[in-house]
Structure 1
Amino acid sequence: MASAPFTSGYHGLPHLAIFPFMAKGHTMPLIQLVNYLRHHQLATVTFFTTPGNAAFIRDGLSSGAGDDDVAVVELDFPADVPGIPPGVESAEGLASMASFFAFTDAVSLLRPQFDASVAAMQPPASFIVADAFLYWVNESAASLSIPKVSFFGISTFAQVMRELRIRHDPCAVMKPGDVDDDGNPATFSVPEFPHIKVTFEDLMAPFGEPSAIRMMMELDGKLGKAIEESQGLIINTFHGLEAPYIKFWNEHVKPRAWAIGPLCLANPAFAPAPAAAQPPWMKWLDEKAAAGRPVLYIALGTLAAIPEVQLKEVADGLERAGLDFIWAVRPKSIDLGLGFEERIKDKGIVVREWVDQLEILQHESIRGFLSHCGWNSVLESVTAGVPLAVWPMIADQPFNARFLVDELKIAIRVSTSDRTMRGFVPSEEISKVVRELMNGEAGTEATKRVVELSALAKEAVDEGGLSWIAVKEMIGELCATNDVHGKEEVNYGKQDV
């Protein structure tokens, strides 16, 4: 059963209901948003989740802002759902796209508990923030007469490309395997942004494997409708990174988008943990820094299933490159090859546990990041001033990669052997790209640019920055549409940005 209704200390602050989709990559930015709201005393929060995810959320919610400004309400996850392994309450525990669709359907069964809990909130909810994957929350908000804003954890660039794909339907004139005169994948020039050229695979990546396209397109339609019919859209980004696309969305697409990131910088600063409490890989990084040895960080996401044979090829490529590296491996039981970890023990470390990625990226020894190009990872790398080698695989990752490589020029692209997104990456390619990132001219230029963006990111979330202004403006506008708060009660008026 859901926890008892939450009564906050209130003090005249808005009271928000926040509900993430059950996946760590979707949940972490909203935890960071809560910590930001609490730190700046902008709102009190009731955070909704399920028992299997509650410990992760409570660990992420920082202390020190008082005990009466946030509560975690646990909604019982439906039991014995066909297609979902017993006990799984997070997308990371799913093994197939079929399971993912079953999971999103099962999450909708939480609605009666959610509606009852929101209705019982004291003080009443000022507005709801919900992940777009929880598309049914729109109906909940309408039935409760509460404004609702969507959160979708992808870049503005990817949001805009999704909208323009629907508008222009380039897949009607492109097909798999189309190539140009040089044998490279054929591209479509986006009319509104002629400098952007996307491939058929870029456009179809959000829909996953071919067998899942029909179901994924149906889900994509629900996500789009959930966003379109919301009172606003929260985007985890900042103007210094994506200004043209934020402007385009707000002028040509709806609803109003608020760029309030990067949320990974939103947590208040805390004193570092004592050396004795540090995990062994952080001590290892300290040793590398003391020796003046730059380190490459590798993390390839938590949702895409990478075959063991491919990960062994990555291991061989890293060994060939001869660089110092730290690799956060998923799944933790993967075999990276006979004797690999013993052979590289002086240069590399393989971590098979959950790591604080931002803490690693912010370490002074880290000089490069080999990434799947998920948006959370991109933002963490940008804020840390670390250039990337990008290897997109699914979802919005190809759009992110094009944006980082072709436009921002803060990344180097990993190429597959057959030039398709799902093709095999040989060890020689891994070795070549990471060497260029860490020691080559392209890596040096990417580092200069990403360091500049890092400074802009910090300015955005600081008090008076554009993201800080956007958070206050969002709260003011949404509360003004709700009877809970009149315009005079919430001093978050509009400001020019």
Structure 2
Amino acid sequence: MSSPSFSAVTTTTPNSNTTHVLAFPFPAQGHMLPFLDFIHQLALKGLNITIIVTPKNLPIINQLHSTHPNSIHTLVLPFPLHPKLPLGIENVKDIGNFGIPPIIASLSKLEGEVIQWFQSHPSPPRAIIYDFFFGYTQLWAKTLNIPTITFCTSGAFSTCFFQRLMTNMNEFRNLDAVQMQDIPRCPSFHKDQYPSLFEKYKEDDSDWQIIKECILTNPKSWCYVVNSFYDLEGEYIDQLKIDLGHDRVFSVGPLTSSLGVNKRVNPDSDVGYGVLKWLDKCPDESVLYVCFGSQKLLTQPQIEALALGLERSKTRFVWVVKVEGSQWVPQGFEERVSDQGLVIKGWAPQVEILNHEAIGGFVSHCGWNSILESVLAGVMVLAWPMEADQFQNAKLVVEYAGLAFRLCEGEHTVPDSNELARIIDKSMSISENVPQKENVKVMRQKALEARNVGGSSLTDLNELVKELSQNVASNSNT
């Protein structure tokens, strides 16, 4: 095999007197942003981090590297070819969620290059931090005799549930519904609410087999890092510790782009930020923000039902509509609601919008990053979960934490417009007492406290850094 070519953003080499770790994020926006925010926190604590990245994903690292030019380094490797991936595809955003299995499988082929780089490095990493999709990284670490750290981009509740589904796949796949008796509150879900990677698993597909092995291998990691905080998910963080058989579960969240690093950048930012000027003219907590994440496209019937529901609710709104494909709001809709709402086609500054005083609610698909962003903004959610971990996240915030209303659910569900209008009107009412609004404001304060001195998340972060700096070097994977 020919020698691989390595490139880097910087020619600096990590100081041999500081702790050096290797980081392997999964190339999807919902995964990379919190992962890189976590790396940012480690760099602030004095650690040196080398990030494995492929060429087309390098721009996502640039802002973080600019913030920490002496402690953030990159190991840039060519994206391995895969027969199911078009040439040049290196990120989920460029192909959609159906590209997740081949991307995971393809990146497993980097093992040889990473090991060669490690063995030739003058000050090699003491540990590998990897996205929980990359459980095969533990095999690399075993060869290198260093421990692994699993970074969970989902919440603790969802992680507990998903791990059980994948571990007991043969038992659960044939059931129409499942109830987890050994998880706090004994959550139950029917099969349409299962995480997508479980529901769509293909036994005879080698890419899906790799995913299954990754998830089953994760509990062997030296520790878990969870993008959550104790006041929101304490009982499930504790359950993870029980499941793993040790206390090395560090909840360090909320980690989101609102922390000021890796904020979304868009060339049409003047268009996107124009919404903030529009919001300045609206009363406090009077506007409903509507956005379904970076990957999800609504069907035309769903768009039409939602448009009619918003219009009939008489509630002010900002609706972010993707411009891909044939997703268009109904003809004449924007003209009819010109005094009521604003439709943004394409990108919008979500964190800034959520934190505007005019925003009083958030119609969301309940992706974990969006949930945490809503909590940090103190904004109530109107939940419409569709896939992945979103049904588990919705159950957490609607039924357990009381931070949200259930607006609709299902990837293909076309809601009743009158019912949408009723729920929107009720939840956004300024004349009625809405407990969810008050609950999320309380949770926001707890989230901020968790990251402050003495808070649960900062304490866990400091403990993890201490372990990495002092103790991890003498440990290895078993």
Asked if TM exceeds 0.5, the reply is: yes
Q: Do the aligned partners of residues 327 and 11 (structure 1) sit closer, same or farther apart at CA in structure 2, a change above 3 Å counting? A: farther
Q: How far apart are the structure 2 equivalents of 1:341 and 1:432?
A: 21
Residue 448 of structure 1 is matched in structure 2 by 438
Name 2:70's counterpart in structure 1: 68
1:52-131 equivalence runs, <5 A: 52-59=56-63, 61=64, 63-65=66-68, 67-79=69-81, 81-95=82-96, 97=98, 99-131=99-131
The AA in structure 2 aligned to 1:141 is: A
How far off its partner does 1:63 sit?
4.4
Q: Report if the CA contact (8 A) 2:258-2:351 is conserved.
A: no
Q: Check the 8 A contact 1:42/1:472 in 2, yes or no.
A: no
Q: Deviations over 1:421-441 (max 9, x none)?
A: 643223333323322221178
Deviation at 1:310, TM superposition (A): 1.7
Which residue does the alignment assign to 1:225?
Answer: 216
The farther-off stretch of 137-146 and 319-328 is: 319-328
Matched, 1:343 2:336: yes
Q: 1:160 to 1:482 in 2, by over 3 A?
A: closer
Partner of 2:370: 377
Q: Compared with structure 1, are the counterparts of its residues 69 and 413 closer, same or farther at alpha carbon in structure 2 (3 Å cutoff)?
A: same
> In the alignment, does 2:279 pair up with 1:279?
no
In 2, distance between residues paired with 1:463 and 1:12? 27
Change (3 A) 1:472 1:194: closer
| Match of residue 29, structure 1, among 5, 29, 34 | 34
Q: 1:6 to 1:221 in 2, by over 3 A?
A: farther
Q: CA deviation at 1:464?
A: 3.0
Alignment of 1:253-268 (within 5 A): 253-254=244-245, 256-264=248-256, 267=259
Decide whether aligned partners of structure 1 residues 128 and 161 sit closer, same or farther in structure 2, where only a CA change above 3 A counts.
Answer: same
Name the aligned partner's letter for residue 87 of structure 1: G
Aligned counterpart, 1:138: 138
Q: Does the alignment pair 1:51 with 2:44? A: no
Give, in whole Å, the separation in 2 of the partners of 1:134 and 1:211: 16
Give, as a single letter, the amino acid of the residue that structure 2 aligns with 1:249.
L
**SS of the residue 2:124 aligns to:** coil
Aligned with 1:249 (options 240, 244, 254): 240
| Corresponding residue SS for 2:259 | coil
Cα offsets for 1:28-87 (capped at 9, x unmatched): 00111122223x33312212211111112213x27455x2111233221124x3221332
1:401 aligns with 2:384: no
Identity between Structure 1 and Structure 2 (%): 26
Q: Indicate the SS of the match to 1:21.
A: coil
Deviation at residue 459 of structure 1 after TM alignment: 1.0
Q: Which runs of 5+ in 1 are unaligned?
A: 177-186, 486-497
2:390 pairs with 1:435: no
Per the alignment, do residues 291 and 386 of structure 1 end up closer, same or farther by CA in structure 2, a change over 3 Å counting? closer
Structure 1 counterpart of 2:195? 205
Letter in 2 for 1:434: I
**1:6–1:46 Cα contact (<8 Å) kept:** no
CA shift for structure 1 position 324:
1.9
- Could you tell me how far apart the structure 2 residues matched to 1:75 and 1:50 are? 5
Q: CA deviation at 1:366?
A: 1.3
Which of 310, 322, 327 aligns to 2:319? It is 327
CA RMSD of the aligned region, Å?
3.2
Counterpart residue number, 1:181: none
Distance 1:463 1:194 in 2: 29
Output the amino acid matched with 1:116: Q
Tell me if the contact between 2:42 and 2:465 (Cα under 8 Å) persists in the aligned partners. no
Q: Is the 8 A contact 1:8 1:44 kept in 2?
A: no
2:20 to 15, 27, 35: 15
Matched, 1:297 2:289: yes
AA in 2 matched with 1:138? Q
Structure 1 range deviating more: 406-415 or 295-304: 295-304
Q: Does 1:234 align with 2:225?
A: yes
Query: What is the aligned partner in structure 2 of residue 317 from structure 1?
Result: 309
> In 2 relative to 1, CA 92–208 (structure 1 residues): closer, same or farther, beyond 3 Å?
farther
For 1:91 and 1:442, the matched residues in 2 are separated by: 42
* Secondary structure, aligned partner of 1:279: helix
2:128 aligned counterpart, secondary structure: strand
Q: How far apart in 1 are the matches of 2:11 and 2:127?
A: 15
Residues 297 and 325, structure 1, Cα contact 8 Å, conserved in 2: yes
Bigger mean CA deviation after superposition, 332-341 or 3-12: 3-12
| Distance change in 2, residues 1:93/1:443 (3 Å) | farther
TM-score by length of 1: 0.83
Give CA-to-partner distance per residue, 1:118-153, whole Å, 9 cap, x none. 444453212111112122211111112222101121
Q: Is contact 1:207-1:213 (8 Å) kept?
A: no
Q: Tell me which residue corresponds to 1:473.
A: 463
**Are the structure 2 counterparts of residues 431 and 229 from structure 1 closer, same or farther at C-alpha, using a change threshold of 3 Å?**
same
TM normalised by structure 2 equals 0.86
Moved more, 468-477 or 246-255: 246-255
Instruction: Name the aligned partner's letter for residue 153 of structure 2.
Output: G
Matches within 5 A, 1:132-171: 132-165=132-165
1:465 partner letter: G
Q: Residues 171 and 51 of structure 1: is their aligned pair in 2 closer, same or farther, counting only changes over 3 Å?
A: same
Deviations 1:437-470 (A, max 9, x none): 2117888210110111111111111233221121
* Paired positions, count: 462
Task: Say which SS state the counterpart of residue 434 (structure 2) adopts.
Answer: helix
1:483–1:237: structure 2 CA closer, same or farther, 3 Å change rule?
closer
Q: Conserved in 1, the CA contact under 8 Å of 2:6 and 2:75?
A: yes
Instruction: Answer yes or no: is the 8 Å Cα contact 1:7–1:123 preserved in 2.
Output: no
Q: Deviations over 1:149-172 (max 9, x none)?
A: 011211101112234446787965
